Amino acid sequence: MKNIVILISGRGSNMQAIVEACISEQWPAKIAAVISNKTDAAGLAFAAQHGIQTEVVVSKDFANREAFDSALQKTIDGYAPDLIVLAGFMRILTPAFVDHYAGRMLNIHPSLLPSFVGLATHKQALDAGVKLHGATVHFVTAELDHGPIAAQIAIQVEDDDTEDSLSQRVLEQEHLIYPKVVRQFIEGRIRLVGNRVRISK
């Protein structure tokens, strides 16, 4: 059994999709813990209801990024993780933290990277007038929203789309691709070759 640790900061709907897929598809893996940097993250209740260990490491209690990341790393490593899944974890990570989990930490970003890094991606897409928008699952590297891409999914942008409607349709797709990539990783089917991700059948 592989150990997965999921980090959240809020709603946790991607975390829920991964937990549900892990259970219903009987992955050879266990969600060892769901860890939040905020006490009021709504996703914590879902995790606890599913018998998953939850932890909170409150980011605002630490003097600086290094101190927080080092405490977080200690908590994560207590679960001997094979894979760290960032699911709406709203933190910029230090290079030391990212290096420690090199090749075993995934993130989902609500845009077709490398377009629209950072926040407000749906607004960025509308402002740019793109006709295709979507989501990206990528390995985490020190540069924000820039790691090797494992999967992308695209949707059409319609004339009457708003930030809300786009965010809703992209999120539905996120819930499909993120569990799929996590499963591929757990099954040992994902290989990093330089900046490219190879997925075997």
Task: Give the footprint of ligand GRF on this chain (CB under 6 A).
Answer: 8, 10-14, 87-88, 108-110, 135, 171, 174
User: What's the CA angle centered on 143, arms 123 and 56, to 5 degrees?
Assistant: 80
- The least CB distance from residue 45 to ligand GRF, in Å, is 13
Q: Is the Cβ of residue 133 or residue 186 nearer to ligand GRF in the bound state?
A: 133
Burial class (CB in 10 A: 0-12, 13-18, 19+), 163: middle
CB of 9 to ligand GRF, least distance (A): 7
Cβ proximity of 190 and 198 under 8 Å: yes
- Token look-up 């860890």 returns 35
CA distance 61 to 58: 6
Residue closer to ligand GRF by CB (options 69, 174) is 174
Q: Is 100 a catalytic residue?
A: no
Q: At its nearest, how many Å lie between ligand GRF and the CB of residue 136?
A: 9
Contact (Cβ atoms closer than 8 angstroms) between residue 15 and residue 95: no
Among residues 15, 152, 170, which one has the least CA distance to residue 88?
15
Q: Pick the closest to residue 186 from 16, 17, 25, 11 (CA basis).
A: 25
Please, which residue, 170 or 188, has the CB nearer to ligand GRF? 170
Which listed residue (50, 109, 122, 175) is catalytic? 109
Specify the residue, 108 or 186, whose C-beta has the smaller distance to ligand GRF: 108
Strand, helix or coil for residue 110: coil
Closest approach, Cβ 91 to ligand GRF, in A, equals 11
Residues with catalytic function: 109
